[in-house]
Amino acid sequence: MAELKPVPFDPVAFLAIAGLGRRIVQIKKKGILFSQGNEADSVFYIQKGRAKLTVVSQKGKEATITLLVAGDFVGEESIGAIAGLRLATATAMTACTVLKIDRKEMIRVVHEEHAFSDLFLAFLLTRSMRTQADLVDQLFNSSEKRLARILLLMADFGQPGEPEMMIPKISLETLANMIGATRSQVSFFMNRFRKHGFLEYNGRIHLHKSLLNVVLHDQIFEPNAAKPSLLDASQVSSKPAKRITAIVKRIDEAKIARKAERKSVA
């Protein structure tokens, strides 16, 4: 009787179908995958759709950490040595199909299946590099350039295949939270991008490849904060300046005279 050979592990198939310790979950738009403060008991793999990861401070201020797309894992902190609490909230930006993998099953497959652990490690390294790039962007680039970069990332520019020119609907408040700006600033930048033909914005955002010029070549046509220009010296009348000089001279002469009078009295 022929001996059956074990079927090699396929990480793609593992992440595509439900099985022991994992199930496929449908999340509606604005639905919650998990919430900050909940028990970290599972890892999610996004099969379809887009989501965002946000954190809320003790004072109630919300910040968007990153955007998530199909092919991303989220909630990977749950496979730490000690299972703790969720540090952020994952919310669906569009209708999402996700694979929910229990903590024990995720730890097992990482330890036992090298093909999967290689794939997962590659994701973690990519996520780490993206986080570093986000930090550098936040520290050194202008708000306008940070906005352009976020929009391009949402459209998957630079990824294999054709980019998505029409990105999912996203609020100006969310974009403002991501780049550390105000809603009015984001609105101003979006209108300027539209004016220069970088995008079309009418509820949904339709990007043009020319927006890359803002990020790659610093083609920002006006300063981020409009300031009144200083008057040219040639435009300033010399008469007021001479008058001020004469007044200062008289004040100095009066001071010298008073000092002389004090010395003579002494």
DSSP letter for each residue of 119-153: HHHHHHHHHHHHHHHHHHHHHHS-HHHHHHHHHHH
The answer to whether residues 126 and 133 touch, using CB atoms and an 8 Å cutoff, is no
Six-digit token string for 97: 């199909």
pLDDT in tens, the chain (266 residues): 556 667 788 999 999 999 999 999 999 999 999 999 999 999 999 999 999 999 998 888 888 888 898 999 999 989 986 778 899 999 998 899 999 999 999 999 999 999 999 999 999 999 899 888 888 887 888 888 888 888 888 776 545 555 557 787 788 888 888 888 889 999 999 888 888 888 887 767 888 878 877 766 555 544 443 333 333 434 444 444 455 555 556 656 666 666 666 666 55
For residue 164, what is the DSSP state? -
pTM, full prediction:
0.68
Cα distance between residue 253 and residue 69, in whole Å: 76
H-state helical runs in 88-229? 103-112, 114-140, 143-154, 172-179, 183-195, 212-216
Assess contact for 70 and 95: CB atoms under 8 A.
no
Instruction: Report the amino acid identity of residue 254.
Output: A
Contact indicator for 41, 101 with CB cutoff of 8 Å? no
Q: What are phi and psi of 244, to 5 degrees?
A: -65, -40
